[in-house]
Amino acid sequence: MTQRLTYHLESTNSLNDRQHGFSEGKSVDTAINELLRNIKTARRDGKHVLVLSIDIKGAFDNLQHRAILKTLDASACPSNINRLFHSLLQNRKVTLLTPQGRVTKEQKQGCPQGSCSGPALWNLVAKEILNQVWPDNVHIQAFADDFVLVIKADTNKNLVEDTQSAITQFSSWCSENELAISTEKTNYILFIKMVRSPKITWNGYKIDRVKPFKYLGIHVDDRLNWLEHINKQGEKAIKMQQNLKRIAGGNWGISQIHKWTLYKTVIERMLAHGPSAWCLNPTFKMKRKLSSIQRPFLLHVSGAYRTTPTEALQTILGIPPLHMQLHFEARFTSIYRLRIPLPPFITDAQPHDLEMKATGWSTHPSEHLKPNQISFEDGKRHYKYFHRCN
């Protein structure tokens, strides 16, 4: 069912490009880069910029079935798929056995986040707010249920007024679909030199201003210098190092090769989250900070003296400097996945030099697996062996 729905949405170009979650060819990298591109463009034009991060309370748990069916009817979906989902979501009941007897309640909402059809059905409903007509100075994007509004204006007064208008429009969509906003987790950040924070409200509740705000695991500060993000990631790395010390010491615990593997597959992967957004052109301060984060792990993995130079540790273990590793991954992601051309002083390779990955369904799901593509020979052999053993 989900495959057929996704095939229909993709083949009819019904998905919104500004939805980066649960969409093939989209990722955290595309979401954060689109956000930064809008912020930098507005700042380059001399605009005041406000970024509003919106948190919906239990979006998947509170998604109304009637909202799904309404959007499905409006999507010109084939009748067979439409009837299947209508049959699935209508007349659903939950029955519990209690000491007082059997209790039955109708289930009219809920779309489990880990289910097969949950992401596709949420994107179907979220497409409605993304497709609405927004003012030219308002940009909206989403990653699953994480929405962001970027508002730009010439004056502080216009910035506040346009932000409140955008909030009213988004709040109206939430009310129609019986979704609620968590005002405690919703916040905004300003990219202007304004000492006094403007009063931004949502249905009478004040929205807090933050200096760095966390978006999809990346801490974005109002100066876009990324030191705040590196510091936060460094704090997480220190906690991981302390946990690593509990399972291995200098001459006890797991072997060096296992410690090396843990660093490369756990620690480094955590630090390498979204490097295309913040490590494409690292500054000297960023390189120095990343080196200080990497050094304790190199000492722990190698078991060397604390006075050993960092460069020597990197050479002995075959681990490149952290800023070089992240810089390489940032360039690769920008060129290969984001298809962003980079200046010659960063790399000579360009997107057109690399083959583009194919996305989407090439054929209808019913034709994807043909009889000659499935072989039961191995399965029969193992089944007979298992049967003889028993």
- pLDDT for 275-315, tens place per residue? 999 999 999 999 999 999 999 999 988 989 999 999 999 99
The pLDDT value given to residue 386: 37
Q: What pLDDT score was predicted for residue 195?
A: 63
**Domains of the chain (ranges, CATH numbers):** 1-64+117-220 (3.30.70), 227-337 (no CATH)
Query: What pTM did the predictor assign?
Result: 0.85
**Which is more confidently placed, 51 or 378?**
51
Burial of 332 (C-beta count, 10 Å sphere; 0-12/13-18/19+): middle
**Would the pLDDT of 68 be above 60?**
yes
pLDDT in tens, 322-339: 999 999 999 999 988 888
Secondary structure tally for the chain: helices H, strands E: 15, 11
Average pLDDT over residues 358-376: 63
Percent of the chain predicted with pLDDT > 70: 89
Band (378; pLDDT cuts 50, 70, 90): low
Using 50, 70 and 90 to split pLDDT, how confident is the model at 361?
A: low
Helical (H) or strand (E) element with 106: strand 101-106
pLDDT for 88 equals 86
| Inter-residue contact 356 to 365 (CB < 8 Å) | no
Percent of the chain with pLDDT over 90: 56
How confident is the model at residue 362, as a pLDDT?
66
Compute the half-sphere exposure of residue 234: CA atoms within 13 Å on the CB side of its CA.
Answer: 18
Across residues 141-160, what is the average pLDDT?
A: 94
Cβ-contact 31, 144 below 8 angstroms: no
Alpha-carbon gap, residue 72 to 127, rounded angstroms: 11
As a whole number, the mean pLDDT across the chain is: 87
Handedness of CA 251, 255, 260, 262 (dihedral sign): negative
Mean pLDDT of 367-386: 52
